[in-house]
């Protein structure tokens, strides 16, 4: 389907009027890195920037989906519209297509104030870290007050995607990830709020203690600013949600009061521009053919006929054409 087949202004109007099918179509355009995306983003940007983006990350099974359902209820209780993006960078086949299906929606199957979507990527060279900010913008501009971005795992790409949020929540469960593991995975740096879920399980207290110690050690390295709270919950039993909401609200107030919200969003914007620039550059370099193309240059370098820097010069000469 070509770019001309998409009526972007109509689609954007319809998404902003709250039509779930239009929102879904826009997210699909993001996933496909569709040629119309440029026009879509230009139309969305003036309407974006209002949503509170909250990232939730943690290893499989810690209770992200269960907690997300509770957070949806809590924000709906405040009369806010909630969009959820479920992202699974660890799954190369589904590209994240399964996670969202597990968030229990039977509570409110026809609630127009909630939109849940798994995010995959078929088109972006930059993968999910390029697609996620655009998908967030779709939900933001469509008028969702809160956008929850759920990522599975605690690897580098999850940390990157969690870093897209205004507020990053890191979930752990007793016995699944103690403070040391958290530090290794780099999640101490990204967590604004830590949740030790499954507080009904043995060892929850020790995990909380462990994490608090790690957080205060990390704080000593970077003094001042925000001290990430460690909140205990039992999502299945609906225990601790108030504490979690309080911690989120406190962080939101901190973001607003200190100007950190703007700084984070500018950092996010810088990442997005860089990703798209690299994507475009790579596409152009891959398209170079003949003796200046990567294939010919590789053969020349392997045969000792050109040095690698000279090869880069030849290739990059095509970059801004
Ligand atoms: P996710 O993979 O991180 O999204 O985790 P899920 O939300 O799917 O939860 C994994 C399993 O743990 C499910 O069977 C949940 O019912 C269960 N679970 C979630 N929260 C709790 C909790 O606080 N206590 C207990 N005992 N089980 C929980």
CATH number at residue 94: 3.40.50.300
- Of the candidates 237, 258, 279, which is a domain's last residue? 258
Within this chain, do residues 151 and 118 fall inside the same structural domain, yes or no?
yes
What single string gives the DSSP state of each residue in 170-196? Answer: EEE-TTT--HHHHHHTTHHHH-SEEEE
**Residue among 58, 61, 158 to mutate when testing ligand 1 (max atoms within 8 A of CB):** 61
Residue 69 lies in a domain: yes
Residue 178 alpha carbon to ligand 1 centre in Å: 17
Per-residue pLDDT, 164: 83
Question: Ligand 1 pocket, 64 CB below 6 A?
Answer: yes
Residues 172 and 304 in one domain: no
Select from 66, 90, 151, 197 the residue to mutate for testing ligand 1; criterion: most ligand atoms less than 8 Å from CB. Answer: 66
User: What is the pLDDT at residue 60?
Assistant: 82
Ligand 1 atom closest to 199 (CA): 23
pLDDT (0 to 100) of residue 94:
45
* Whether residue 178 sits in one domain with residue 315: no
Question: Do 301 and 241 sit in the same domain of this protein?
Answer: no
- The pTM assigned to this predicted structure is 0.88
Same domain, 291 and 186: no
Q: What is the pLDDT of residue 198?
A: 94
Say if 1 falls within a structural domain: no
* Structural domain count, the chain: 2
CB-based contacts of 114, cutoff 8 Å, min separation 6: 72, 76, 81, 82, 83, 84, 105, 108
Does any ligand 1 atom lie closer than 6 A to the CB of residue 151? no
In a domain, 6, yes or no: no
Please check whether residues 197 and 304 belong to one and the same domain.
no
- Cβ(48)–Cβ(160) under 8 Å? no
What is the per-residue pLDDT for 78?
Answer: 97
CA 207 to CA 200: how far, in whole Å?
12
In this structure, which residue's CA is closest to atom 14 in ligand 1? Answer: 61
- CA 6 vs. chain centroid, Å, equals 26
Using a 10 angstrom Cβ sphere, with 0-12 exposed, 13-18 middle and 19 or more buried, the burial of residue 152 is buried
- Say whether both 113 and 161 belong to one domain: yes
Distances (CA, A) of 298 to 106, 107, 159, 278, 321: 56, 57, 34, 21, 21
How far does the centroid of ligand 1 lie from the alpha carbon of residue 30, in Å? 30
Tell whether 131 and 251 lie within a shared domain.
Answer: yes
User: What local confidence, expressed as pLDDT, does residue 88 receive?
Assistant: 72
Return the best residue to mutate from 70, 153, 202, 236 for the ligand 1 pocket (most ligand atoms within 8 A of CB).
236
**Tens digit of pLDDT per residue, the chain (321 long)?**
444 588 999 999 999 998 999 999 999 999 888 999 999 999 999 999 999 999 998 888 889 999 999 999 999 999 999 999 988 765 554 444 444 455 544 455 678 899 999 887 766 666 677 788 999 999 999 999 999 999 876 566 666 776 789 999 999 888 755 555 655 666 777 889 999 999 999 888 888 988 888 888 777 666 668 889 999 999 999 999 999 999 999 999 999 999 999 999 998 899 889 888 988 898 899 999 999 999 999 999 999 999 999 999 999 998 776
173 C-alpha to center of ligand 1: Å?
9
Atom of ligand 1 nearest to the CA of 59: 3
Is residue 28 situated within a structural domain? no
Q: Which of 281, 309, 285 is nearest to 295 (CA)?
A: 285
Cα–Cα nearest to 113, from 149, 150, 143, 148: 143
Q: Which domain holds residue 291?
A: 271-319
Query: Which residues is 195 bridged to in the sheet?
Result: 171, 231
200 plus 230 within the same structural domain: yes
Final residue before a domain boundary, out of 258, 292, 311? 258
The pLDDT, as a whole number, for residue 154 is 56
Largest CA distance in the chain: 69
Residue 212 is assigned to a structural domain of this protein: yes
Q: What is the pLDDT of residue 107?
A: 54
**Final residue of a domain: which of 206, 228, 258?**
258
Does residue 287 lie in a domain region?
A: yes
Cα-flanking dihedrals φ and ψ of residue 148, to 5°? -95, 125
DSSP three-state, residue 104: coil
Q: How many CB atoms lie within 10 A of CB 160?
A: 18
**What is the reported pLDDT for 220?**
66
Calculate how far, in angstroms, residue 61's C-alpha sits from the geometric centre of ligand 1.
Answer: 6
Residues 189 and 238 in one domain: yes
200 falls within a domain: yes
Residue closest to 58 by CA, chosen among 102, 90, 26, 17: 90
Can you give the pLDDT at residue 188?
A: 75
Atom 26 (ligand 1) nearest CA? 198
Taking the C-alpha atoms of residue 139 and residue 20, their distance in angstroms, rounded to an integer, is 10
313 contacts: CB under 8 Å, gap ≥ 6: none
How much is the pLDDT for 97?
Answer: 44
Q: Domain for residue 29, yes or no?
A: no
Specify whether 296 is located in the same domain as 252. no
- 168 and 282 in a single domain? The answer is no
């Amino acid at each position: 389907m070509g770019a001309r087949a998409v009526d972007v202004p109509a689609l954007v109007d319809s998404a902003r009027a709250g039509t779930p099918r239009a929102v879904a179509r826009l997210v699909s355009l993001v996933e496909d890195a569709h040629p119309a995306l440029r026009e879509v983003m230009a139309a969305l940007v003036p309407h974006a920037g209002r949503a509170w983006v909250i990232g939730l990350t943690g290893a499989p099974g810690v209770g992200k989906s269960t907690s997300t359902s509770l957070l949806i209820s809590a924000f709906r209780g405040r009369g806010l519209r909630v969009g959820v993006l479920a992202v699974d960078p660890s799954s190369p086949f589904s590209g994240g297509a399964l996670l969202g299906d597990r968030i229990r929606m039977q509570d409110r199957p026809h609630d127009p104030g909630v939109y849940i979507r798994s995010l995959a990527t078929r088109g972006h060279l930059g993968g999910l870290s390029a697609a996620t900010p655009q998908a967030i913008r779709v939900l933001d501009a469509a008028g969702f007050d809160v956008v929850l971005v759920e990522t599975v795992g605690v690897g580098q790409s999850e940390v990157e995607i969690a870093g897209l949020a205004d507020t990053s929540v890191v979930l752990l469960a007793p016995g699944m990830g103690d403070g040391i593991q958290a530090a290794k995975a780099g999640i101490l740096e990204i967590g604004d709020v830590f949740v030790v879920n499954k507080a009904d399980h043995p060892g929850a207290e020790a995990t909380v203690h462990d994490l608090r110690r790690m957080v205060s050690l990390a704080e000593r390295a970077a003094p001042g600013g925000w001290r990430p709270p460690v909140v205990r919950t039992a999502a299945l039993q609906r225990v601790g949600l108030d504490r979690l909401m309080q911690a989120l609200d406190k962080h939101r107030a901190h973001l607003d009061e200190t100007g950190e919200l703007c700084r984070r969003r500018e950092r996010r914007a810088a990442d997005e521009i860089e990703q798209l620039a690299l994507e475009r550059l790579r596409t152009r370099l891959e398209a170079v053919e003949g003796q200046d193309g990567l294939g010919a240059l590789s053969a020349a370098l392997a045969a000792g006929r050109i040095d690698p820097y000279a090869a880069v010069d030849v290739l990059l000469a095509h970059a801004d054409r």
